[in-house]
Structure 1
Amino acid sequence: MILVIAFSISSKGQQIEKIKWEPFNVATLNKAKEKNKYILLHLAANWCHWCHVMEEKTYQHPEVINYLNKHFIVCYEDHDKRPDLANRYREYGWPATIIFNSDAQEVFKEAGYIEAYEFLSILKDIKENGGTNHYASKKNILKSSGNNLSKIKEDLYLLIDTVNGGFKSPQKSLDFEMFEYAINHQNETIFKKWLTVTLPNSLNLLDTVWGGIFQYSTHNDWIHQHYEKLLSVQARYIKMYLWYYYITDDKKYLDAAIKIKDYNERFLKHQDSWGYSNAQDADLVKGVKSTNFFKFSDKERISLGIPEIDSTITTEGNAKLAESYCYLYAYTGDNTYLEKSANIINMLMNNYVKNRGLYQHVLNYDHPEALADQLSMLKALITLFKFTNDTLYLNETDRLISAIIKHLWENDYFLSFRATKGYIEPLPVISENIEAGRLINFYAKISKKKDLEVFPEKILTWLCTDDVYNEMVIEPGIISLSEEIKSEPFTGLYVISSSEDNEIRRELLSIPKFYYFPLIIQKNYLDEDKKELTKSFEDDVILFCTSNFCSQPFFEKEELKINIFRLLSLKN
């Protein structure tokens, strides 16, 4: 829908023209081509402080308004509702300002707040000169040579911050891929040290009053928080804190995960629905920093109101939460979390699949389906199958992988969204391809579908090319992918006499490792080869196996955990 011109009344009674915002879609691109006009895309987030500031100041400036309305087609999109755009421009930050020529080719892109007169200068240069004075590509045009996989690992050692935690960057947050790589390589002193610095510091991002994790901190420390709370970030930290609790036995990380869960249930859960809201705004008053607000008690905050909540139910965010709630069940023994997880995924399966077999980002989504939503669903489906042994989720995993390959695969990589006639060209996103490679590789190994193994192998080859290497900053997931392609996941085989829940079963499900498959089977349902393997054991037994190796048998929870660390390389 095109937004009509709006007017406001100034103190002198004059009408002030407002920007004519339009949606960014095929129709708008066609309009730009017909009128030979540039398109400006303001890609913002409804929880983003600097987005609010730019909308209140730059886009309210009369000269900016007049120039844009006269010379540009101006589009506004909420990046949380448009993953086809969000993942394409994520590295540029929010707000992202992107300008296209009439042929839908990018001529300018910039991250963050732009002051009005600087913005006017950029707009005029683009209109008059095509942007030659202002546009500076952020891509490194230098070419590398040699073994890029080795260089990616060298970069990892150089860019992790073992003094302050996180990466050597002004922004501090806890990256899941880096955390996962570190816990899988604690035999290397540098990663063990990084964990012992980063995890305690990351707790500064936890809202001690309401719970929930703030997205990140600036100033190269962990105490200058940006106060937005995103559902996907809450899900990520729940899982990381639970995993770190498993490794350290430090209860403050379990408590932190529970506080995040409590925030989700109080503020993000739809009271009349199965789903969870997308995010909560950083600002109580849009464009005004909420530093003082977040120092108040619960009662004081509530008396002032709460920052706005974006109630959108997305596939990506809810699937990630479902995955993390599986682990909450394993670590607490409360079956409610597993039920919530299954309910979320069942509702997405029943309501969010489009005609092509891909998941839409939100209900009634009329834009190209995005790879990010498919990957979040894949991981949740695999996790639910691990936890429930319900083949419903395994079959949906198989079906979804086939749909992803059919509609999003392009020679050596996956495209970030489905190609659509008349729309901008879809491109591959590095982080998405890492995740796709790892998920498909895992499924190929546990399902014995060797024909699928070609996809992660091709992705890894593409990720290690010079062009891709020169685009990335730090990607520990590439190293994880390379290690997983060369190995098979351990299977934690637990042969039980009854289907009742117990501590050993949850211990197997709690193991902080993605590339691992817990297989819990009642004795009377064993395959012949597994019957032969376990026939000499009268009691319930646990074995860790690959295709050519099985561990010694374990019978008690205490001996199990000690040996898990050794067998799965989680600790020295």
Structure 2
Amino acid sequence: MMRTGAIVLSLLMTLSAQAAPIENSDGFWSAWSDATFARAAREKKFVIVSLQSWWCRWCHVMNRDTWADPEVRSILKDRFIPVYVDQDSRLDISQRYERWGWPATIIFGPDGVEIAKLRGFYSPQFFKPILTATIEDPSPVVYPDAGGAERARTLTAGLTDAQRDEILGFIDQAWDAQHSGWSKSKFVDGAMLIWALQRARQGDATNAARIRKVLSLMAGNMVDTTTGALDHVNLKPDWSEPAREFPMFAQEAGLGAFARAWTIFGDPAYRLAADRIYGFLKNTMSAPGGGFYTSMGMSEGEPGVDRRQYARETAQAIAAVLAYFDATGAVDARELAVGAARWALANRALPGGGFRHAEQDEGGPYLADNVEMAKALLALHRSTGERQWLTHAQAAADFIARTFIDPATGGFVASASPDAQQLTKPIKQREDNVTAVRMFNLLSSYTGDSSYREIAEAGMGYLTSPAILDAFGFLPDVLLAEDELRNEPVHITVVGARDDPRSAALYRAALAYPLVNKRAEWWDKREGKLANPDVDYPDFPDGPAAFACTSTFCSYPVTQPADIAAQLDSLKRARKN
């Protein structure tokens, strides 16, 4: 028993040296493992788990004020095994409990049964009574079911009119008319920003005005003046207190939104914000050997940059800098993305086309790493026009299809293996399911492979089930997935030699078109047929030309880059039933 404990402690000390900054010189924290739960059963102790993040302000406050409190430790000493989990490194555990905030505190009985889940920071004053109450009455707390039952696998391209109207109504009612923003809490929500920008591009004056207000407030209040990093949350409804927490998902959301907004509205403030976030990714978050670091925290404890490198966060950074490249033409951004992708393929690739999270995964592989990498690789194919990246994207997608699809529902499970012996029911994380549906749908357009479209439709069937629609009201990401399934991507193909500057100029203009559901291709006939030769492009003797197409129609040859956007705007892309 002592030997097992020494091994666990050794593993934990190694983990702590690489994970979020936390003091464990006294061995207070144990590691999440089946061995820890087995020990709890033997010793008839509760397991109390703290899920934390490097960049999380209140995680550090709770470590300082609550977990270190002598009276709290006295209660824990004889009846509890405290377990520390860095949620950035263990996505299986993180995504199971993400609705409980960071920090999240989960209490298990000696038999491994969940007893209670606590959201966010608890001071010693409120934490101690919970611990004593758990000892006195370890009955599991019954929490209301967040969603309805998962529906059996079905293929669908969208929501019902009533479902769509309900989501749209919820988003509209969430608008904070006094301070601007969708809700009183000011979070950076990538799907909301994309959806609103897309509505603005399509002529929705109300959402155009709203997204401009939000982006202007974000640019003025949430882009750090020293580093250029984008805060993921503002603590005050009036945008006056940025949290100084900078996870990678916020950088992807913000850089993509500001870059596309600049092309839509031409506001120099949006370009400046995009430049600053890109500078942060390039100068602070890019690792010397390739790839990207994970996050940065500058609030409580000022932990600084988390220099671990995960496939998920590297993929998010790739997608972000490619959105910046597409909008601005900054070649160094494209090269930064290419270098990061090569690093991921060399250092995070698994046999069969997939990706692991870190150098060694304790609970993976995870859907999040693989779907983000597939999305990023497909974006690289778009931004470079090079076919090697489409091949890698297909390999990652095929790995996802073999590894993560639940055949009963069509949804995607978060992890390929259970996160603990007693937690055997797999979870499905909504945002990753949306990303998977959107990625498979776009991949089907690039490749012409109908099996990818079927996977996307089955995934959409899961997203329109009670498990999702009954659990969440704010669903701009589901609206995005539906829009992309119901409408063909804007499709622009440049036919011309790669070494012809006129071809390059046309392709630059195609990339700058700001809709995200976009199929941009560069066909140099010397390279053979396109991956999906669904259009028979005519010969154009006067040099390179671009063609804007749907499944039934192509424009006349476009030879001037300035004319491409108008041709794409004129396409009617609704799919025929």
TM-score by length of 1: 0.86
Measure the CA separation in 1 of the matches of 2:518 and 2:345.
Answer: 25
Partner of 1:10: none
CA-to-aligned-CA distance 1:380-438 (integer Å, 9 cap, x gap): 11001112233322222222222212221112211111123726333011111111111
Per the alignment, residue 200 of structure 1 pairs with 216
CA contact (8 A) 1:141 1:470 kept: yes
Structure 2 residue matching 1:57: 3-state secondary structure = helix
What residue in structure 2 maps to residue 249 of structure 1?
266
Cα offset, 1:491, TM superposition: 1.6
SS in 1 for 2:186: coil
Counterpart check, 1:157 vs 2:172 = yes
Distance 2:536 2:193 in 1: 39
Q: Deviations 1:206-245 (Å, cap 9, x if unpaired)? A: 1123311122102212221101222332232111111000
Which residue of structure 2 lines up, in the alignment, with residue 137 of structure 1? Answer: 143
1:264 Cα deviation (Å)?
2.6
Whole-angstrom CA distance in 2 between matches of 1:103 and 1:459 = 35
- Name the CA distance, whole Å, in 2 between partners of 1:533 and 1:346: 33
Query: Cα deviation per residue 1:429-467 (whole Å; 9 max; x = unaligned)?
Result: 111111111111111232122123232222222222223
In structure 2, what residue type is equivalent to 1:416? A
1:417 alignment partner, one of 406, 415, 421: 415
Residues 62-113 of structure 1: per-residue CA shift (max 9 Å, x gap): 2211222211221101111222222222222111111123443322112211
State the 1:205 CA deviation: 0.2
3-state DSSP class of the match of 1:505? helix
Q: Does 1:59 align with 2:83?
A: no
Question: Does the residue aligned with 1:409 lie in a helix, a strand or coil?
Answer: coil
User: Which position in structure 2 is the counterpart of 1:544?
Assistant: 548
Contact residue 19 and residue 65 of structure 1 kept, 8 A: no
After TM superposition, the structure 1 = structure 2 runs for residues 20-419 of structure 1, keeping only pairs within 5 Å, are 20-131=28-139, 135=141, 137=143, 139-140=145-146, 147-161=162-176, 163-169=178-184, 171-186=185-200, 187-203=203-219, 204-270=221-287, 272-283=288-299, 286=301, 307-355=303-351, 357-410=353-406, 411-412=408-409, 413-419=411-417
State how far apart, in whole Å, the 1-side matches of 2:535 and 2:215 are. Answer: 43
Q: Which moved more, 1:150-159 or 1:214-223?
A: 150-159
Whether the 8 Å CA contact 1:207–1:213 is kept in 2: the answer is yes
> What displacement does 1:568 show?
7.8
Structure 1 position 329, deviation (Å): 2.9
Aligned equivalents of 2:43 and 2:62: distance in 1? 27
| Separation of aligned partners in 1, 2:279 and 2:444 | 36
Seen in structure 2, the aligned counterparts of structure 1 residues 188 and 330 have a Cα distance that, compared at 3 Å, is closer
1:26-75 CA-to-partner distances (Å, cap 9, x unmatched) read 32233333444322110011222211111011111122112222112211
- Equivalent residue number for residue 297 of structure 1: none
| Alignment map for 1:402-551 (pairs within 5 Å) | 402-410=398-406, 411-412=408-409, 413-420=411-418, 422=421, 424-425=423-424, 426-500=426-500, 502-525=504-527, 527=529, 533-536=537-540, 538-551=542-555
Q: Following TM superposition, by how much is the alpha carbon of 1:559 offset from its aligned partner in structure 2, in angstroms?
A: 2.2
Q: 1:188 to 1:401 in 2, by over 3 A?
A: same
Shift of 1:557: 2.2
Asked if the contact 1:434/1:477 (under 8 Å) is kept, the reply is: yes
Distance 1:185 1:231 in 2: 25
Structure 1: how far apart are the matches of 2:570 and 2:43?
66
Q: Distance in 2 between matches of 1:222 and 1:504?
A: 40
Q: Is the 8 A contact 1:19 1:68 kept in 2?
A: no
What is the one-letter code of the residue matched to 1:253? Y
Secondary structure of 1:233 counterpart: helix
Assess if the C-alpha contact under 8 Å between 1:278 and 1:314 holds in 2.
yes
- Whole-angstrom distance in 2 between the partners of 1:172 and 1:73: 36
Distance 1:41 1:345 in 2: 35
Q: Retained in 2: the 8 A contact 1:243–1:512?
A: yes
Distance change >3 Å, CA 454–CA 324, structure 1 → 2: same
Alpha-carbon shift at residue 566 of structure 1 (Å): 4.4
Which of 552, 563, 571 in structure 2 is aligned with 1:559?
563
Q: CA RMSD in A?
A: 2.9
34-43 or 75-84: which moved more? 34-43
**C-alpha displacement of 1:128:** 2.3
Partner AA of 2:196 in structure 1: A
- Asked if structure 2 preserves the Cα contact closer than 8 Å seen for 1:79 and 1:86, the reply is yes
* Distance change in 2, residues 1:504/1:164 (3 Å): farther
Could you say what secondary structure the match of 1:80 adopts?
Answer: coil
Distance 1:140 1:322 in 2: 34
User: Following the alignment from structure 1 to structure 2, what is the Cα–Cα distance between the partners of residues 357 and 552?
Assistant: 39
The number of residue pairs the alignment matches comes to: 536
State the distance in 1 between where 2:142 and 2:8 align: 31
Cα distance, 1:441–1:531 mapped onto 2, change above 3 Å? closer
- What do the CA deviations read for 1:266-311 (whole angstroms, capped 9, x no partner)? 33233x421322122223x62xxxxxxxxxxxxxxxxxxx752211
CA distance in structure 1 between the partners assigned to 2:225 and 2:32 by the alignment = 39
Letter in 1 for 2:493: L
Q: Secondary structure at the match of 2:342?
A: helix
CA contact under 8 A between 2:291 and 2:341: conserved in structure 1? no
Give the counterpart of 2:8 among 2, 6, 14: 2
Structure 2 CA distance for partners of 1:213 and 1:20, relative to 1, 3 Å: same
Matched residue of 1:99: which SS? Answer: strand
Task: Report how far residue 532 of structure 1 moved.
Answer: 5.7
The structure-2 alpha-carbon separation of the partners of 1:236 and 1:29, relative to structure 1 and needing over 3 Å to count, comes to: same
- 1:329-388 CA deviation, whole Å, 9 max, x = no partner? 333433222222111111111221235653221112222222111111011110011122
Are the equivalent residues in 2 in contact too, given 1:328–1:337 (CA < 8 A)? yes
User: Are residues 149 and 547 of structure 1, via their aligned partners in 2, closer, same or farther at CA, if it must alter by over 3 Å?
Assistant: same
Cα shift at 1:324: 1.9
Shift of 1:161: 3.5
Please list the CA deviations of residues 520-548 of structure 1 after superposition, one character each: whole Å capped at 9, or x if unmatched.
11255575989963225523221111221
The question of whether the paired residues in 1 share the 8 Å contact of 2:231 and 2:242 is answered with yes
Percent identity over the alignment? 21
- Aligned equivalents of 1:247 and 1:128: distance in 2? 61
Deviating more after overlay: 117-126 vs 451-460: 451-460
TM-score, normalised via structure 2 length: 0.85
The alpha-carbon deviation at position 122 of structure 1 amounts to 1.0
Relative to structure 1, is the Cα distance of residues 79 and 530 closer, same or farther in structure 2, using a 3 angstrom cutoff? closer
Stretch moving more, 355-364 or 441-450: 355-364
